[in-house]
């Protein structure tokens, strides 16, 4: 039998950016893990009246990563992506997971290139001044953690799986 992986949050004691990025990475992995192995149609079936499904959470988080890190902070690309787009019949679990991983990789490039967490980004997604990288990292930790919790509940409803 394969030993159970260490599911505890990161325990490293590092500089601020590394610590924030490590916790964000931990949460991103948790979201992907919750959708891994869930068969069709359960992975796309809403588990609550608002329409939230595991695939919808991944699609939403993909757009949010690109919107905050790439469009707002780095100032790249066209208008931000709609982060409330529904999952289509053409969307597959593998494709959406790959798109999320690609968005994470691009966001991480922006984060790693940032040498000053206090420096504001190029623009804002809100009607406020552009936020700092520190603010965006903390916001994305909060956003991803909230949705990881939603994914926990959805997965437990599907097959009883609990934990990270």
Number of domains, the chain:
1
- Whole-angstrom distance, CA of residue 105 vs CA of residue 113: 12
Written as six digits, the tokens of 53 are 């499904």
Residue 154 lies in a domain: yes
Predicted local distance difference test score (pLDDT) of residue 4: 46
Residue 11 inside a domain? The answer is no
Query: Cβ(121)–Cβ(135) under 8 Å?
Result: no
Q: Any idea what DSSP says for residue 50?
A: T
Give yes or no for a contact between 43 and 53, defined as CB atoms under 8 angstroms apart: yes
Residue 48: strand pairing partners? none
pLDDT of residue 6: 57
Under a CB-based contact definition with an 8 Å cutoff, are residues 93 and 104 in contact? no
Residue 132 forms part of a structural domain: yes
In a domain, 114, yes or no: yes
- Specify if 104 maps to a domain: yes
The encoded tokens of residue 86 equal: 């529904």
pLDDT of residue 159: 93
Containing structural domain, residue 81: 16-159
pLDDT tens per residue across all 164 residues of the chain: 445 455 566 666 788 999 999 999 999 999 999 999 999 999 999 999 999 999 999 999 999 999 999 999 999 988 888 899 899 999 999 999 999 999 999 999 999 999 999 999 999 999 999 999 999 999 999 999 999 999 999 999 999 988 76
Domain membership flag for residue 1: no
Of 94, 100, 89, the closest CA to residue 45 belongs to 89
Going by C-alpha positions, the residue among 118, 105, 130 that lies closest to residue 24 is: 105
Domain presence at residue 45: yes
CATH number, position 100? 1.20.120.450
Question: For 23-70, how does the pLDDT look when each residue is reduced to its tens digit (9 = 90+)?
Answer: 999 999 999 999 999 999 999 999 999 999 999 999 999 999 999 999
Query: Which residues, other chains included, contact 138 with Cβ-Cβ below 8 Å and sequence gap of 6+?
Result: 20
């Amino acid at each position: 039998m394969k030993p159970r992986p260490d599911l505890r949050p990161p325990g490293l004691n590092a500089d601020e950016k590394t610590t924030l990025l490590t916790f964000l990475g931990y949460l991103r992995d948790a979201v992907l893990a919750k959708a891994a192995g869930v068969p069709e149609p359960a992975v796309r079936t809403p588990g609550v009246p608002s329409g939230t499904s595991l695939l919808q959470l991944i699609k939403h988080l993909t757009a949010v990563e690109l919107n905050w890190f790439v469009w707002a902070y780095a100032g790249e690309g066209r208008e931000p992506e709609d982060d409330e787009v529904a999952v289509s019949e053409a969307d597959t679990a593998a494709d959406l997971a790959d798109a999320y991983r690609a968005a994470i990789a691009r966001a991480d490039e922006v984060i790693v290139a940032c040498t000053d967490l206090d420096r504001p980004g190029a623009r804002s997604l809100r009607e406020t001044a552009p936020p700092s990288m520190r603010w965006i990292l903390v916001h994305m930790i909060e956003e991803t953690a909230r949705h990881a919790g939603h994914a926990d509940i959805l997965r437990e409803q599907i097959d009883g799986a609990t934990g990270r």
